[in-house]
């Protein structure tokens, strides 16, 4: 290579780091996309990270423990990165690391999540804050921090919600509140990011194999929380027993497939409900219909059945366009 060509190459590479332009790194395929997955140490997050890596994409896999970071980094196409979504300093450090790597960032998967299940009239405020800090403020913090990189690449953002963001019931209030908030977050963010050609989706799994119940039970043990003395002692005891002895759920391969579609499909969906059995789909859709009926019930602008069916037909037609 002559001196002029060498100089041009150096200038182009230097500009790529200054501007954040995502030139392919040496030895990496030109079409490889870089994706950050939070909460990637176990369960659904680990499955998503491995699925993306198997497809040839480069994954920054967020985890809190060094042992998990090392285990993730041992997988081809995965680089473990320290990332607690409740710690702004770690988020900022992750942004700095990924920016300096020079790949840019095409996709963000806000997957980190926890569960707090307790009666709403008894739940400790510390537990409620913990629930929202991870499940709601986590995606808010991480997305805000990485938005410039995602906007630059005209990439994709997806968040792991839950069918519990539609459904709710006794004892599930804290968790369902956090996931219901993600539904609103997704719609608002999608409207705002449309200006930058960035697509936003939420994936809403049913019951798949994950570590979320193990983490829940371990945290309750650490905080010495039991059913004893609760106004809902019988219900809590039953739940804790079921959680401790629940059968193995289906592996979350279908959830990862939905995430890949949200990240790479030409026309991604806004919402991906993914459930292992039909019953979970049915109860979720029926709950959404029940809320529609309640919204329409006995007020001066209520619609009759024919008008509601026309609205449903219009929505179905729009979804199929």
Co-location of 272 and 284 in the same domain? no
Co-location of 272 and 290 in the same domain? no
For residue 280, the model assigns a pLDDT of 97
Return the CATH number at 152: 3.40.50.720
Total structural domains within the chain: 2
For residue 200, the model assigns a pLDDT of 98
2 assigned to some structural domain: no
- 182 membership: H or E segment, kind and range: helix 173-193
3 assigned to some structural domain: no
Contacts of 282 (CB under 8 A, 6+ apart): none
Co-location of 153 and 52 in the same domain? yes
pLDDT tens for the chain, residues 1 to 321: 444 444 333 333 333 333 333 444 555 666 799 999 999 999 999 999 999 999 999 999 999 999 999 999 999 999 999 999 999 999 999 999 999 999 999 999 999 999 999 999 999 999 999 999 999 999 999 999 999 999 999 999 999 999 999 999 999 999 999 999 999 999 999 999 999 999 999 999 999 998 888 899 999 999 999 999 999 999 999 988 888 888 889 999 999 999 999 999 999 999 999 999 999 999 999 999 999 999 999 999 999 999 999 999 999 999 888
For residue 235, the model assigns a pLDDT of 95
Co-location of 206 and 318 in the same domain? no
User: Among residues 175, 185, 208, 272, which one is catalytic?
Assistant: 175
Co-location of 151 and 212 in the same domain? yes
For residue 99, the model assigns a pLDDT of 98
Owning domain of residue 191:
20-276
147 assigned to some structural domain: yes
The reply to whether 303 belongs to the active site is: no
For residue 16, the model assigns a pLDDT of 38
270 assigned to some structural domain: yes
Query: What's the predicted TM-score (pTM) here?
Result: 0.89
118 assigned to some structural domain: yes
Co-location of 317 and 216 in the same domain? no
For residue 30, the model assigns a pLDDT of 60
Co-location of 287 and 270 in the same domain? no
Owner of token pair 């700095």: 96
Query: Can you give 33-51 as a three-state secondary structure string?
Result: CEEEECCCCCHHHHHHHHH
The whole-angstrom separation of Cα 36 and Cα 40 is: 9
170 assigned to some structural domain: yes
Which pair of structure tokens corresponds to residue 234?
């019988």
Q: Which residues pair with 272 in a beta bridge?
A: 203
Question: pLDDT by residue (tens digit) across 146-187?
Answer: 999 999 999 999 999 999 999 999 999 999 999 999 999 999
4 assigned to some structural domain: no
Co-location of 78 and 28 in the same domain? yes
Total residue count of the chain as it appears in this document:
321
Q: How many CA atoms lie within 13 A of 295 on its CB side?
A: 7
Co-location of 174 and 141 in the same domain? yes
Please count the helices (runs of H) and the strands (runs of E) in the chain.
Answer: 12, 7
Co-location of 288 and 263 in the same domain? no
Co-location of 284 and 268 in the same domain? no
Domain boundary among 276, 292, 312: 276
The whole-angstrom separation of Cα 258 and Cα 247 is: 24
223 assigned to some structural domain: yes
Question: pLDDT by residue (tens digit) across 22-67?
Answer: 444 555 666 799 999 999 999 999 999 999 999 999 999 999 999 9
For residue 183, the model assigns a pLDDT of 98
Co-location of 284 and 209 in the same domain? no
């Amino acid at each position: 290579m002559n001196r002029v060509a060498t100089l041009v190459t150096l200038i182009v590479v230097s500009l790529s780091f200054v501007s954040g332009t995502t030139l392919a790194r040496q030895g990496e395929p030109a079409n490889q996309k870089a994706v950050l997955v939070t909460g990637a140490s176990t369960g659904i997050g680990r499955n998503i990270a491995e699925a993306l890596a198997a497809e040839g994409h480069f994954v920054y896999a967020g985890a809190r423990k060094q042992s998990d970071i090392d285990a993730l980094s041992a997988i081809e196409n995965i680089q473990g990165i320290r990332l607690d979504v409740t710690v702004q300093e770690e988020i900022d450090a992750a942004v700095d690391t990924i920016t300096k790597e020079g790949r840019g960032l095409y996709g963000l998967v806000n997957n980190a999540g926890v569960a707090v299940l307790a009666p709403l009239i008894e739940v400790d405020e510390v537990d409620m804050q913990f629930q929202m800090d991870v499940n709601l403020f986590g995606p808010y913090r991480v997305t805000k921090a990485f938005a410039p990189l995602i906007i630059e690449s005209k990439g994709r953002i997806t968040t792991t919600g839950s069918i519990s963001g539609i459904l709710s019931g006794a004892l599930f209030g804290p968790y369902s509140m956090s996931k219901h908030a993600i539904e609103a977050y997704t719609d608002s963010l999608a409207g705002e990011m449309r200006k930058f050609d960035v697509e936003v989706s939420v994936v809403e799994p049913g019951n798949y194999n994950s570590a979320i119940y193990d983490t829940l039970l371990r945290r309750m043990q650490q905080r010495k929380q039991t059913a004893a003395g609760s106004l809902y002692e019988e219900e809590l005891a039953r739940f804790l027993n079921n959680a401790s002895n629940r059968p193995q759920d289906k592996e979350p391969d279908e959830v990862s497939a939905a995430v890949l579609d949200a990240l790479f499909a030409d026309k991604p969906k806004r919402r991906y409900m993914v459930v292992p059995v039909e019953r979970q789909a049915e109860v979720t859709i029926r709950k959404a219909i029940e809320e529609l009926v309640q919204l329409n019930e006995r007020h001066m602008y209520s619609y009759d059945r024919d008008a509601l069916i026309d609205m449903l037909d219009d929505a179905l037609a729009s979804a199929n366009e």
